[in-house]
């Protein structure tokens, strides 16, 4: 069974061409190349969503994968995959789960297959925003106060919105529309716990992912609620509604890497993103070239370390690997069927390609010197240094547990 990738609900060819013209110069500055035969991606075709309706993905292995998020079905397979590891991972997801499960009856898996429903109404009286620059600075400060690590702002660009969202009652297409007058997207970055990430692959490591979904759920709800209290629209969003990566790049938070992630100067790929769609008058950021992507041109560490060899070794292309890949935009693309197949075997998520990336640093002096080199004309020296160090060693889950026992309160 396969859903049409060119959905009747998506933007028309004329609308795509108009957006390509509108963003021509900013796309060129960011190295984004979108062809005029581009069509929006349909959420029904992403690997997670396919795992619920596509028999070629939905096997007894993937069923076991989702089941393992309930303790009675969590397997026990030794270090990193024991009851305590699954217990911590599943607990880390708990707040995010409360949000995503509350719309089950209406087919809205909030934060994943549909935006987070608004508990706060838009205030009937609207504050005057006389100085959008100052408002932008304030919003960025408040996002950090609520707990975001990174914040950037960009204009709405519907090319990156899903043509349809999935109705999770029966996994059929549903409308993915936002309020009409949305103008900007606030993109926030949430750094992941470095010690937990060092234990990938393991169920224990999955706690680093669950923790940030639970954190970001609270942060987007709080910031959206503040904006709505000012009398403006704000839709709180996690993985739903739109592709986060092009938005994070456009908001100036980092550059796209071979490992399919945005590499930020602060945390490399060890960061997750959330977003808020709003009509609050704000000023978009103007990203500056960072030189990170150019380093990826000469490095293949993530691709070599990926167990199922899902990552590309060659040049970016605009060809789609399979129905879960967005085509007609030039980029590095993964074979995500291979990637998700590996997760299904593990019964937990993987992020080896995040762990081994040399930009995934802890901000030590050595890390900072390496990053300066890697993003300069001396990047080949940085490559030699990174290769000399080899693949970073995985932190053994039992050592992680031993270390937290030793840490002072
Ligand atoms: C579905 C999904 C997956 C699928 C794979 C994607 C797929 N094709 O189905 C699976 C389950 C396998 C997966 C794996 C992982 N994911 Co994931 N995933 C998503 C999700 C929810 C939707 C993306 C989607 O619809 N992809 C379908 C099509 C568009 O895929 P694609 O053509 O291959 O495009 C990918 C990239 O090329 C890029 N991209 C898309 N359009 C464009 C356009 C331009 C111009 C550029 C430069 C790039 C770009 O984004 C896509 C990411 O999948 C996003 C959140 C979101 N809403 O964006 C998170 C997201 C991309 N995942 C994320 C992460 C971290 C991971 C993992 C490390 C797992 C983990 N433990 O966290 C691995 C990494 C695997 C890898 N190297 O690819 C993060 C990335 C953060 C970052 N630093 O950039 C995101 C943004 C979630 C988040 N909350 O932050 N993921
Ligand atoms: S490991 Fe190397 S190629 Fe892969 S994302 Fe990191 S820097 Fe880029
Ligand atoms: S998440 Fe794991 S399986 Fe998927 S691309 Fe990264 S290293 Fe490969």
For ligand 2, atom 7, which residue shows the shortest CA distance?
A: 296
310-330 pLDDT per residue, tens: 999 999 999 998 999 999 999
pLDDT for position 4: 44
Q: Which of 47, 258, 352, 356 to mutate to test the pocket of ligand 3 (most atoms within 8 A of CB)?
A: 352
The protein residue with its alpha carbon nearest to ligand 1, atom 26, reads 46
Nearest-ligand number for the alpha carbon of 296:
2
Q: What whole-number distance in Å separates Cα of residue 71 and Cα of residue 88?
A: 10
Q: What is the pLDDT of residue 236?
A: 98
Over residues 156-203, the pLDDT tens digits come to 999 999 999 999 999 999 999 999 999 999 999 999 999 999 999 999
Tell me how far the alpha carbon of residue 260 lies from the centroid of ligand 1, in angstroms: 7
Mutate to test the pocket of ligand 1, among 161, 203, 244 (most ligand atoms within 8 A of CB): 244
The minimum-distance atom of ligand 1 relative to the CA of 200 is 71
pTM beyond cutoff 0.85: yes
Domain spans in the chain, listed from the N-terminal domain onward: 13-406
Ligand minimally distant from the alpha carbon of residue 338: 3
- Please provide the average confidence, as pLDDT, over all residues in the chain: 94
Find out whether the beta carbon of 302 lies less than 6 Å from any atom of ligand 2: yes
Give the list of residues 6+ apart from residue 77 with CB closer than 8 angstroms, or none: none
- Pick the residue whose CA is nearest to atom 6 on ligand 2: 357
CA of 261 to the centre of ligand 1 (A): 7
Pick the ligand that lies closest to the CA of residue 306.
3
Q: Give the tens place of pLDDT for each residue, 366-392.
A: 999 999 999 999 999 999 999 999 999
Q: Which ligand is nearest to the CA of 254?
A: 1
pLDDT tens digits, 31-86: 999 998 999 999 999 999 999 999 888 875 677 788 889 898 888 889 999 999 99
Mutate to test the pocket of ligand 1, among 191, 260, 273 (most ligand atoms within 8 A of CB): 260
The fraction of the chain above a pLDDT of 90, given in percent, is 89
Question: Which residue's alpha carbon is at the smallest distance from atom 3 of ligand 3?
Answer: 339
The confidence score (pLDDT) of residue 376 equals 97
pLDDT at position 75, please? 80
- What pLDDT shows up at residue 1? 45
Mutation to probe ligand 3, out of 199, 269, 308, 348 (largest number of atoms < 8 A from CB):
308
Task: Yes or no: say if 200 and 81 are a contact pair by the CB < 8 Å rule.
Answer: no
Query: How far, in Å, from the CA of 162 to the mean position of ligand 1?
Result: 13
Residue with tokens 């004329």: 14
């Amino acid at each position: 069974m396969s859903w049409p990738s060119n959905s009747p609900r998506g933007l028309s060819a004329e609308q795509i061409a108009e957006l390509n013209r509108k963003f021509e110069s900013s796309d060129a500055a960011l190295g984004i190349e979108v062809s005029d035969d581009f069509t929006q991606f349909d959420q029904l075709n992403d690997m997670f969503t396919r795992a619920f309706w596509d028999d070629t993905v939905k096997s007894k292995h993937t069923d076991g994968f989702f089941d393992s998020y309930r303790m009675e079905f969590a397997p026990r397979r030794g270090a990193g995959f024991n009851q305590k590891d699954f217990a911590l991972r599943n607990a880390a997801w708990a707040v995010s789960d409360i949000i995503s499960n509350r719309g089950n009856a209406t087919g809205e898996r909030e934060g994943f297959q549909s935006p987070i429903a608004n508990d706060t109404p838009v205030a009937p009286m609207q504050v005057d925003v006389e100085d959008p620059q100052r408002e932008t600075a304030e919003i960025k400060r408040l996002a950090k106060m609520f707990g975001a690590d990174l914040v950037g702002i960009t204009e709405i660009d519907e090319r990156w919105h899903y043509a349809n969202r999935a109705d999770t009652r029966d996994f059929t297409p549903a409308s993915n529309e936002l309020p009409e007058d949305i103008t900007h997207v606030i993109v926030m970055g949430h750094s992941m716990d470095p010690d937990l990430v060092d234990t990938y692959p393991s169920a224990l490591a999955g706690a680093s992912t669950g923790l940030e979904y639970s954190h970001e759920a609270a942060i987007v709800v709080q910031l959206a609620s503040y904006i709505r209290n000012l009398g403006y629209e704000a839709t709180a969003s996690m993985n739903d509604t739109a592709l986060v990566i092009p938005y994070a790049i456009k908001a100036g938070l980092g550059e796209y890497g071979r490992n399919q992630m945005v590499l930020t100067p602060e945390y490399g790929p060890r960061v997750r993103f959330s977003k808020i769609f709003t009509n609050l008058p704000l000023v978009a950021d103007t990203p500056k070239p960072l030189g990170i992507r150019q380093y990826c041109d000469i490095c293949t560490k993530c691709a070599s370390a990926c167990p199922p060899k899902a990552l590309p070794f060659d040049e970016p292309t605009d060809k789609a690997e399979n129905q879960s890949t967005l085509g007609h935009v030039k980029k590095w693309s993964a074979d995500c069927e291979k990637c998700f197949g590996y997760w299904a075997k593990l019964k937990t998520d993987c992020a080896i390609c995040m762990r081994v990336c040399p930009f995934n640093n802890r901000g030590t002096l050595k890390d900072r010197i390496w990053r300066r080199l890697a993003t300069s004309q001396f990047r080949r020296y940085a490559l030699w240094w990174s290769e000399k160090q080899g693949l970073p060693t995985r932190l053994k889950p039992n050592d992680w547990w031993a270390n937290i026992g030793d840490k002072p309160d």
